[in-house]
Amino acid sequence: MKLLEDKILECGELREGGILKVDSFLNHQIDISLMQEIGKELASLFAGKGINKILTIEASGIGIACIAAQYFDNAPVVFAKKTESLNLSGDVYSTDIHSYTKNKDYTARIDKKYLTKGDKVLIIDDFLANGEAAMGLMRLVSMAGAETAGVGICIEKAFQKGGDMIRSKGTELHSLAIVDVKDDGTISFLQK
Amino acid sequence: MKLLEDKILECGELREGGILKVDSFLNHQIDISLMQEIGKELASLFAGKGINKILTIEASGIGIACIAAQYFDNAPVVFAKKTESLNLSGDVYSTDIHSYTKNKDYTARIDKKYLTKGDKVLIIDDFLANGEAAMGLMRLVSMAGAETAGVGICIEKAFQKGGDMIRSKGTELHSLAIVDVKDDGTISFLQK
């Protein structure tokens, strides 16, 4: 998606260790007009899949998922919770996920009421790197007897394994920008 | 806002200790059509205030803020982060906030780049109870030399002190549903 690639080139900041900071428009400050275009693009890519629910994980995926849901006939958004809240009942699907960004494990939980057999779920997230979060969400969908109709990602890191891992499972994955970083620190984009 | 009050009566669940569970439409599963109506209502209530930025805090406020921002000329949304991320630089405004729901303190942080002098900020959140989060966000706005143009809340708990505390400071606060719970466990709504 050229608009997103251009935005990454214009506003993204590359840090040591291949960390791409895009918090001026994606995951700290959010550019709403850009999210609308991302939502339209995802709706076009996953058209005809019968998607009736959008699934993401707190926190950065929520805004993108909510804006995008508008282009899927206002499908409800469910976000998996990362911490044990006093308000979340015990009747949940849960799975452990490793965060490389925060360098720790956490448990992702979804109340069983909000993910059910027959749901055709589109998983949306801001980043795909090692694929831990997306794979964790796919496990939660499976536990519910629901179907992962696809995975829609804003930025995939080509130099990390998550994207190819998900593709190799036969899951339909669309990453709107697949970022590669050369040794000299320049950013380029791949198509997969 | 009658639509929200009706939804609370229809789908809300009251738990011990005055905990109102609304996670079927507000803070776990999100009803996008309802969020759009909430966004329109907030835009109407805060019209003419020159609001150019929406501020919230992860995680439950993000979806509401993003949908609502569309009715404020796609103003950018900034969400304060609760956890120290490797991706957040050190140059932040930060303040400590107590969470009664989770019974612990956390530090809320905003990168200084995304909140600046001259910003007219609308703070949006899902719940207002003791007001800790909203007051914390107002402190962050002050630190930046920006102005809190108003606070927009989906559900205020009348039996907790946050709403009156913010009103007593002269800040324009609109809560779309002000919930009171009687001793017999029935829910009623107040106007303030």
Q: What is the DSSP string of chain B?
A: -HHHHHHHHHH-EEEGGGEEE-TTTTSSEE-HHHHHHHHHHHHHHTTTS---EEEEETTTHHHHHHHHHTTTTTPPEEEEBSS--TTS-S-EEEEEEEETTTTEEEEEEEEGGGS-TT-EEEEEEEEESS-HHHHHHHHHHHHTT-EEEEEEEEEEETTSSHHHHHHHTT--EEEEEEEEE-TTS-EEEE--
Mean pLDDT over all residues of chain A? 94
Report the gap between the CA of A110 and the closest CA in chain B (Å): 8
In Å, how far are A9, A121, A142, A143, A144 from A112, measured between CA atoms?
A: 41, 14, 12, 9, 7
pLDDT in tens, B140-151: 999 999 999 999
DSSP annotation string for A155-190:
EEETTSSHHHHHHHTT--EEEEEEEEE-TTS-EEEE
Closest residue in B to A20 (Cα) is B87
Is A74 in Cβ contact with B32 (below 8 Å)? yes
C-alpha B139/C-alpha B145 separation (Å) is 10
For the ranges A188-192, B27-31, B37-41, B50-54, the lowest mean pLDDT is seen at A188-192
What is the pLDDT, as a whole number, of residue B54?
A: 98
Report the domain count for chain B.
1
Work out the percent of chain A whose per-residue pLDDT is above 90.
Answer: 82
Contacts of A26 (CB under 8 A, 6+ apart): A60, A64, A126, A154, A155
Chain B residues with a Cβ under 8 Å from any Cβ in chain A: 15, 19, 21, 23-24, 28-33, 35-36, 58-59, 62-63, 65-67, 69-70, 74-79, 81, 83, 85-89, 101-103, 110-111, 113-114
Query: pLDDT higher for A7 or B99?
Result: A7
Task: Kindly report whether the global pTM for this prediction surpasses the value 0.90.
Answer: yes
Write the CATH number for B88. 3.40.50.2020
Residue numbers in A near B66 (CB within 8 A): 30, 32, 35, 62-63, 66-67
**DSSP label at A76?**
P
Please choose, from the candidates A60, A73, A78, the residue with its C-alpha nearest in 3D space to the C-alpha of residue B30. A78
Model confidence at B52, in pLDDT bands (50, 70, 90)?
A: very high
- Contact list, A88 vs chain B (CB under 8 Å): 23, 28
* Chain-chain contact of A81 with B69 (C-beta, under 8 angstroms): no
Please state the rounded mean pLDDT for residues A90-118: 91
B34 to chain A, closest Cα gap in Å = 10
Name which of B58, B87, B114 is nearest A29 (Cβ-Cβ).
B114
3-class state of residue A68 by DSSP: helix
pLDDT of residue B174: 98
Q: Hey, of A26, A31, A32, A35, which one would you mutate to test binding to chain B, going by the most B CBs within 10 A of its CB?
A: A32
Q: Is the separation of the CB atoms in A89 and A67 below 8 Å? A: no
The answer to whether the Cβ–Cβ distance between A28 and B111 falls below 8 Å is yes
Percent of chain B surpassing pLDDT 70: 97
Please indicate whether, in this complex, the C-beta atoms of A102 and B81 are within 8 angstroms of each other.
no
Encoded tokens for B129: 């109870």
Contacts of B87 in chain A (CB under 8 A): 15, 19, 21, 23, 27, 101
H/E stretch holding A21 reads strand A19-21
What is residue A65's predicted lDDT score, i.e. its pLDDT? 98
Residue A71: phi and psi, rounded to 5, are -95, 5
d(CA A59, CA A61): 6
- Nearest chain B residue to A16 by CA distance is B87
Q: Is it the case that residue A86 has pLDDT exceeding 60?
A: no
pLDDT score of A84 more than 90: no
Query: What's the pLDDT score for residue A184?
Result: 82
Q: How confident is the model at residue A88 (pLDDT cuts 50, 70, 90)?
A: low
Contact A63 B75 (CB under 8 A): no
Q: Which residue type sits at B84?
A: E
Residues of chain A with Cβ-Cβ distance to B110 below 8 Å are 28
Of A33, A78, A83, the CB nearest to B29: A78
CA distance A64 to B89: 23
B18 vs A contacts (CB less than 8 Å): none
Q: How many CB atoms lie within 10 A of CB A33?
A: 15
Q: Do A66 and B36 touch (CB under 8 A)?
A: no
> With an 8 Å Cβ cutoff, are B66 and A70 in contact?
no
pLDDT, residue B39, reads 98
Residue of B nearest to A115 (CA): B29
Domain extent at residue A27: 2-190
Residue A87's pLDDT is: 60
Task: State the pLDDT at residue B11.
Answer: 96
Interface ipTM: 0.95
